[in-house]
Chain A
């Protein structure tokens, strides 16, 4: 069991290392001179030279990579080319605001979609299933910006309950942001839930058709007990990984929604730094995304271990 956890940890670190190399390569290896890219075509040669010097572009790539990663490990991601402030602090501030949305989204989406997915699976081919499946199909088919726009139309314009746009900057307090969190979170939750609902449904149907569930039924157990004790632990296993992937997807998913609502989160920062070619910030965001992805998957694997005795008891012999 311990060896499984250790192996899983080692592989997570390996993936992170590879991702960081990819991020660095992708950003640095973009065609053309990075300094010219940033400053634009009509920058003076002096300015370009100064920027090259500031970025250390004359040194070999691997050296720059190790400098960057060493700094990153200490929380120092360099300085923003636009604001001149430390990248670490900047990203952390925006990330914190996004975390607020993410928290609400995950809470709603995961609980709601699991309940709906399991219901649909249990009522397979009957009206609750048809209803839930249809709604989730539509949820999957509509892009976030459409959901967001419709929500604004309904709950900001028609019924002025929530603000349509956020008027605060990134340093707003939680109290200031709280009223603005709900609509973006709802928009994200709709899209995210669709996938989890479908996964949970298929997985429940699969397990319910399994031999051991039949055996449990033929033991004369109540449906409730059969579902909760015998079916769900196994049915949740494959769902866990879909949840993890969806949670990791949030960090990219917020980009669109935050821009619709002008919410000062990581997605908005991502977009503005791409527009401004603020490379250190892009690198930092990409790295943070990779960390989130790896952590989510790790959590899913550990969760799977808790649910699956086969993984837990590995090494014990017959």
Chain B
């Protein structure tokens, strides 16, 4: 999929007193979920209006009820939920009072929905064309596919969903939603799970279609960057209640509610030069990075590492060093090989070429062949805290076991003692040790994951997308914890992420990977100040800032081809270890190297 040049969303200034009648009107809506014989309220008296042609964003962290509210616009409730008060009116109809036949006509015809995960929202046993056709409307399928900018529509219509990429699937879902030319589009996290560049493409498409067809849209998102880019108005939800509703520009410029302030302040930004510290009142302060001490020893070093999966090459000739006390970020989209590299370093894959060494030994062997003393020096923290802890064992046990396994603690009481200390070290109450993982929040589980990794007293910590699954305020806390720990314990940290803003705040050095190849690397400041490779620039241009007036960080993206050749692989912009893989522009055939 090619990226179109980003275009700013058209935001109509709100003219007071001149607002057209709302097409969607939710009036003190309450929804409860029945569990264990009693009603658990999930939405409390939520009211909102959306006018024709305008976009309202529902923002909130997980459990805020934002998706539940959005689904009610189509008269849909989860199995076991019911309306306990209020009403939902769309285009003059009271949605929950409509007879079945009318409701069916409303769905698709008046309101259409694009879900989060197109891969699961498309029926796997039906051809794409049939599914779109079914959605009704008079527009030919091929035209619809063309309208969502999919290539070769006639051929694509005969495919099955699994034969498309994630971005293509989402475009098909959009085509399906606009097939019957509805008046309202409900977008429930439409780009979560897509890579940044793909996300940008899909968002631009949605914005264009919205304007073209004059749709009102309700956008559900946890990503404030997406919201700032897309919405005219924002409604902030917390635990099922509306906290604040305001025009987008006003909300981002001058949030009123302390929760909104904290939420906005917690979002990492591309121009933060350190991690943000957010006060209870929502005050934001950027904590400067502490430089890596001079002459700090190299803890782990990879040279020309290659990893193969069968016949396909996941990592191709990657080299980097991580020094003690330094955070090196591996950045790239899915399929860039960054996680493979992390797993290889942790001994879960065997490299097919190159060398990897630690201060104390060779890392080219799988974990069970490495000596115990070496194994404990390199520890991995996982992306998903939900699956990284054994649900049947207490979190104290999760920390205690490696202590005893690595011999860091001898004896049961000493291990228990040390486990409690480690849990305190990750800023948790040691009383939590008796709990099971399911009884902790996501952020707490992730901290236990870190404590478990620390149990081996490692000097290298590999953090594989550790904040991706966390809500933004929790993410900020976990990042600060990681930053503190590497200073306190002089850890070498390999930080894997797809989020450039997060990387900017925490990393000392950045390595950008694309299809298993390093395209650019260097000190964080140098790379962000002057990204040399067009791919790095494309990533930065696609990143969305939580600011409706933000200018794209970098706005010249060009078509390019790899020009690395033999020993002549790198160009050096000359700012302290920054180097860029050779490329040549395809737009202007003469230009070469760094523009």
A–B touching in complex (CB under 8 Å):
yes
B-binding residues in A (CB < 8 A)? 209-222, 225, 229-230, 233-234, 307-310, 313, 316-318
Over the window 86-114 of chain B, the binary record of Cβ atoms lying under 8 Å from chain A Cβ atoms (1 yes, 0 no) is 00000000000000000111111100110
Whether B124 lies near A234 (C-beta < 8 A) is yes
- From residue 58 to 90 of chain B, which have CB atoms closer than 8 A to chain A? 74, 76, 79
Q: Does B281 contact A (CB under 8 A)?
A: no
Please report the C-alpha to C-alpha distance between residue A313 and residue B158 in the assembled complex, in whole angstroms. 12
Given contacts A215-B121, A229-B134, A309-B124, 19 further A-B contacts (CB under 8 A): A212-B121, A212-B122, A212-B124, A214-B76, A215-B122, A218-B74, A218-B112, A218-B113, A219-B135, A220-B108, A221-B108, A230-B125, A234-B125, A307-B125, A309-B162, A313-B160, A316-B163, A318-B163, A318-B168
Which chain B residue has the least Cβ–Cβ distance from A309?
Answer: B160
Which chain B residue has the least Cβ–Cβ distance from A213?
Answer: B123
Whether A221 lies near B134 (C-beta < 8 A) is yes
Residues of B within 8 A of A219 (CB): 107-108, 112, 134-136, 176
Q: Does B117 contact A (CB under 8 A)?
A: yes
Residues of B within 8 A of A230 (CB): 123, 125-126
Residues of A within 8 A of B136 (CB): 219-220
Whether B164 lies near A318 (C-beta < 8 A) is yes
Q: Does B337 contact A (CB under 8 A)?
A: no
Residues of A within 8 A of B79 (CB): 209
Which chain B residue has the least Cβ–Cβ distance from A210?
Answer: B120
- From residue 134 to 165 of chain B, which have CB atoms closer than 8 A to chain A? 134-136, 160, 162-165
Closest CB-CB distance, B99 to chain A, in whole Å? 13
Q: Which of A213, A220, A233 is in CB contact (< 8 Å) with B106?
A: A220
Q: Is the interface of A mostly helix, strand, loop or mixed?
A: helix
Whether B124 lies near A308 (C-beta < 8 A) is yes
* Number of residue pairs A-B, CB distance < 8 angstroms: 82
Which chain A residue has the least Cβ–Cβ distance from B74?
Answer: A218
A-binding residues in B (CB < 8 A)? 74, 76, 79, 103-109, 112-113, 115, 117, 120-126, 134-136, 160, 162-165, 168, 173, 176, 180
Whether B162 lies near A217 (C-beta < 8 A) is no
Residues of B within 8 A of A209 (CB): 79
Residues of A within 8 A of B180 (CB): 220
Residues of B within 8 A of A229 (CB): 123, 126, 134
Please report the C-alpha to C-alpha distance between residue A229 and residue B176 in the assembled complex, in whole angstroms. 16
Whether B115 lies near A211 (C-beta < 8 A) is yes
Residues of B within 8 A of A213 (CB): 123
Q: Which of B105, B123, B162, B164 is in CB contact (< 8 Å) with A216?
A: B123
Which chain B residue has the least Cβ–Cβ distance from A221?
Answer: B134
Whether B104 lies near A222 (C-beta < 8 A) is yes
7 CB < 8 A contacts A-B = A215-B113, A215-B173, A219-B134, A219-B135, A233-B126, A234-B125, A317-B163
Please report the C-alpha to C-alpha distance between residue A229 and residue B107 in the assembled complex, in whole angstroms. 18
Residues of A within 8 A of B176 (CB): 219
Residues of B within 8 A of A214 (CB): 76, 121
Which chain A residue has the least Cβ–Cβ distance from B121?
Answer: A215
Please report the C-alpha to C-alpha distance between residue A317 and residue B160 in the assembled complex, in whole angstroms. 11
Whether B104 lies near A221 (C-beta < 8 A) is yes
Residues of B within 8 A of A210 (CB): 120
Please report the C-alpha to C-alpha distance between residue A68 and residue B54 in the assembled complex, in whole angstroms. 80
Whether A218 lies near B124 (C-beta < 8 A) is no
Please report the C-alpha to C-alpha distance between residue A309 and residue B126 in the assembled complex, in whole angstroms. 8
Please report the C-alpha to C-alpha distance between residue A52 and residue B64 in the assembled complex, in whole angstroms. 81
Whether B105 lies near A220 (C-beta < 8 A) is yes
Which chain A residue has the least Cβ–Cβ distance from B180?
Answer: A220
Residues of B within 8 A of A211 (CB): 115, 117, 120-121
Whether A220 lies near B121 (C-beta < 8 A) is no
Residues of B within 8 A of A310 (CB): 124, 160, 162
Whether A220 lies near B104 (C-beta < 8 A) is yes
Q: Which of B105, B107, B122, B164 is in CB contact (< 8 Å) with A218?
A: B107
Which chain B residue has the least Cβ–Cβ distance from A317?
Answer: B163
Please report the C-alpha to C-alpha distance between residue A223 and residue B593 in the assembled complex, in whole angstroms. 60
Whether B120 lies near A220 (C-beta < 8 A) is no
Please judge, given known A-B contacts A209-B79, A219-B135, A219-B176, whether A318 and B165 are in contact too, CB under 8 Å: yes
Which chain B residue has the least Cβ–Cβ distance from A233?
Answer: B125
Shortest beta-carbon contacts, A-B, top 4:
A220-B108, A220-B107, A233-B125, A309-B160
Q: For A214, A229, A308, A316, which residue has the most chain B Cβ atoms within 10 angstroms? A: A214
Please report the C-alpha to C-alpha distance between residue A221 and residue B221 in the assembled complex, in whole angstroms. 27
Which chain B residue has the least Cβ–Cβ distance from A125?
Answer: B79
Please report the C-alpha to C-alpha distance between residue A218 and residue B126 in the assembled complex, in whole angstroms. 17
Whether B108 lies near A218 (C-beta < 8 A) is yes
Whether B117 lies near A217 (C-beta < 8 A) is no
Closest CB-CB distance, A316 to chain B, in whole Å? 6
Which chain A residue has the least Cβ–Cβ distance from B114?
Answer: A215
Residues of A within 8 A of B115 (CB): 211, 215
Q: For B74, B106, B109, B124, which residue has the most chain A Cβ atoms within 10 angstroms? A: B124
Residues of B within 8 A of A220 (CB): 103-109, 135-136, 180
Closest CB-CB distance, A90 to chain B, in whole Å? 46
Please report the C-alpha to C-alpha distance between residue A230 and residue B106 in the assembled complex, in whole angstroms. 20
Please report the C-alpha to C-alpha distance between residue A225 and residue B113 in the assembled complex, in whole angstroms. 19
Closest CB-CB distance, B511 to chain A, in whole Å? 28
Residues of B within 8 A of A222 (CB): 104
Please report the C-alpha to C-alpha distance between residue A222 and residue B134 in the assembled complex, in whole angstroms. 11
Residues of A within 8 A of B74 (CB): 218
Which chain A residue has the least Cβ–Cβ distance from B76?
Answer: A218
Which chain B residue has the least Cβ–Cβ distance from A211?
Answer: B120
Which chain A residue has the least Cβ–Cβ distance from B132?
Answer: A219
Residues of B within 8 A of A218 (CB): 74, 76, 107-108, 112-113
Closest CB-CB distance, B411 to chain A, in whole Å? 48
Which chain A residue has the least Cβ–Cβ distance from B117?
Answer: A211
Residues of B within 8 A of A217 (CB): 76, 107
Please report the C-alpha to C-alpha distance between residue A214 and residue B180 in the assembled complex, in whole angstroms. 18
Please report the C-alpha to C-alpha distance between residue A213 and residue B76 in the assembled complex, in whole angstroms. 12
Please report the C-alpha to C-alpha distance between residue A61 and residue B121 in the assembled complex, in whole angstroms. 58
Closest CB-CB distance, A313 to chain B, in whole Å? 6
Please report the C-alpha to C-alpha distance between residue A318 and residue B168 in the assembled complex, in whole angstroms. 10
Closest CB-CB distance, A217 to chain B, in whole Å? 7
Residues of B within 8 A of A316 (CB): 163
Please report the C-alpha to C-alpha distance between residue A310 and residue B123 in the assembled complex, in whole angstroms. 12
Closest CB-CB distance, A209 to chain B, in whole Å? 7
Closest CB-CB distance, B178 to chain A, in whole Å? 12
Please report the C-alpha to C-alpha distance between residue A215 and residue B243 in the assembled complex, in whole angstroms. 30
Residues of A within 8 A of B165 (CB): 318
Residues of B within 8 A of A317 (CB): 163
Residues of A within 8 A of B107 (CB): 217-220
Please report the C-alpha to C-alpha distance between residue A144 and residue B113 in the assembled complex, in whole angstroms. 51
Which chain B residue has the least Cβ–Cβ distance from A216?
Answer: B123
Please report the C-alpha to C-alpha distance between residue A106 and residue B109 in the assembled complex, in whole angstroms. 44
Which chain A residue has the least Cβ–Cβ distance from B109?
Answer: A220
Residues of A within 8 A of B122 (CB): 212, 215
Please report the C-alpha to C-alpha distance between residue A77 and residue B121 in the assembled complex, in whole angstroms. 55
Which chain B residue has the least Cβ–Cβ distance from A209?
Answer: B79
Whether B76 lies near A212 (C-beta < 8 A) is no
Residues of B within 8 A of A225 (CB): 134
Please report the C-alpha to C-alpha distance between residue A302 and residue B168 in the assembled complex, in whole angstroms. 29
Residues of A within 8 A of B126 (CB): 229-230, 233
Residues of A within 8 A of B163 (CB): 313, 316-318
Please report the C-alpha to C-alpha distance between residue A317 and residue B162 in the assembled complex, in whole angstroms. 10
Closest CB-CB distance, A25 to chain B, in whole Å? 37
Please judge, given known A-B contacts A221-B134, A310-B162, whether A212 and B104 are in contact too, CB under 8 Å: no
Residues of A within 8 A of B125 (CB): 230, 233-234, 307-309
Closest CB-CB distance, A215 to chain B, in whole Å? 4
